[in-house]
Amino acid sequence: MKLVRSVAGVREVLMAPREEAMRIGLVPTMGAFHEGHLTLFRSCAAECDVAVASLFVNPAQFGPGEDLERYPRGLDRDTHLAEEAGIDLLFAPGAEEIYPPGFQTAVEVGELGQVLEGASRPGHFRGVATVCLKLFNIVQPAVAYFGRKDAQQAAVIGTMLRDLNLPIELRVIPIVRDADGLALSSRNAYLQPDERRRALALPRALQAGLEACRAGGGTDAALAAAQRVLAVGDGIEVDYLAVADLDGPTLAGAIRVGSTRLIDNVLLDEEAT
């Protein structure tokens, strides 16, 4: 695996594969890799001739008072994990490589970016869409891989690909969960044992909503069932809980446990297994 820190370096490494019409896949990440990331990497490596991952903690998608400075980082560990999972090229630029002096262009996200996460974190999806468009232009992949845990992010990216006529296939990979049901997230590392126990209220609420929907109650019943579970949650603060169309009817929520903010969702029309 090659570790590259510059835009020019990425283009040089990918010149030959592109000339040979090889299928290039890209997995954009912010690092602190866990099994969710590794699942994306393995899918990319299995389906593409060249598997590329980016590792960039994007300051443009963090708001004031958020966890930019303490966001988990560990390049050596991440490099090792990416290579083991089949990544051929890891692009790990510094902030000035992506946002050089004088940078002033951004992608504005419309209605889809103003609800749920967009309402709680103004400007978040502007930062996400801008950095992803830059990464798409740098790597020029045939396919891009995102995790379903960030369902609204995936929907925003899909809309951008459509609206801007980008010839990139979007692959959204199902959520990976720990044995206790908590969706894997780099921010889970912040949780103390008691906080993790409390955080399980979110996946339990979403599962209750899914079961209510499958029992024939529809989306209103799903939302009500999830709300009942969160209402008796111990030591959690609910940021939002709502049903939205995120490439299908989706029950999505965000909670705070101590200083940690977690998101999760479930697709309500998903078939039972």
CATH of the domain at 53: 3.40.50.620
Q: What whole-number distance in Å separates Cα of residue 52 and Cα of residue 93?
A: 13
Q: Into how many domains does the chain fold?
A: 2
- At which of 173, 199, 222 does a domain end? 173
Tokens representing residue 124 in the block:
């978040």
Say what percent of the chain tops pLDDT 70. 99
Q: For residue 130, give the nearest of 103, 159, 107 by alpha carbon.
A: 107
How far is residue 21's CA from residue 26's CA, in Å, rounded to a whole number?
15
Tens digit of each residue's pLDDT (9 = 90 or more) over 127-146: 999 999 999 999 999 999 99
Q: How far apart are CA 62 and CA 67, in angstroms?
A: 7
Residue 273, pLDDT > 80, answer no
Answer whether residue 268 shows pLDDT above 60. Answer: yes
Q: Looking at the structure, do residues 83 and 194 belong to the same domain, yes or no?
A: no
Assess whether 83 and 11 both reside in one domain. yes
Domain shared by 74 and 125, yes or no: yes
Q: Domain for residue 169, yes or no?
A: yes
Give pLDDT, residue 272.
Answer: 62
Pairing of strands 143-147, 169-173: parallel
Strand order across the beta sheet in which 89-91 lies = 2-4, 89-91, 50-55, 24-29, 143-147, 169-173
d(CA 62, CA 33): 19
**Is residue 34 among the annotated active site residues?**
no
Q: Is the domain of 74 the same as that of 107?
A: yes
How many other CB atoms are there within 10 angstroms of residue 65's CB atom?
Answer: 6
> HSE-up of 158 (CA within 13 Å, CB side)?
16
Residues 40 and 164 in one domain: yes
Q: Tell me the pLDDT band of 270, cut-offs 50, 70 and 90.
A: confident
Question: Residue 213's domain spans which residues?
Answer: 186-265
Q: Please tell me whether residues 200 and 162 are part of one structural domain.
A: no
Catalytic, out of 34, 37, 80, 124: 37
27 and 138 inside one domain: yes
Whether residues 197 and 166 share a domain: the answer is no
Is 46 within the bounds of a domain? yes
Q: Is 180 part of any domain?
A: no
Question: Looking at the structure, do residues 74 and 202 belong to the same domain, yes or no?
Answer: no
Query: Is residue 178 a part of any domain in this protein?
Result: no
Torsion of CA 121, 123, 128, 134, to 10 degrees: -170
Last residue in a domain, options 173, 197, 219: 173
pLDDT tens digit sequence for 104-134: 999 999 999 999 999 999 999 999 999 999 9
Angle at 56 between CA 166 and CA 81, to 5 degrees: 105
Give the CATH number, domain containing residue 194: 3.30.1300.10
Pair (163, 193) in one structural domain: no
The whole-model pTM stands at 0.96
252/134 Cα distance (integer angstroms): 28
Domain match, 193 and 161 both:
no
The verdict on 163 and 202 lying in the same domain is: no
Structure confidence by residue, pLDDT tens digits, 134-181: 999 999 999 999 999 999 999 999 999 999 999 999 999 999 999 999
Last residue of a domain, one of 173, 203, 228: 173
Give the pLDDT score at 33: 98
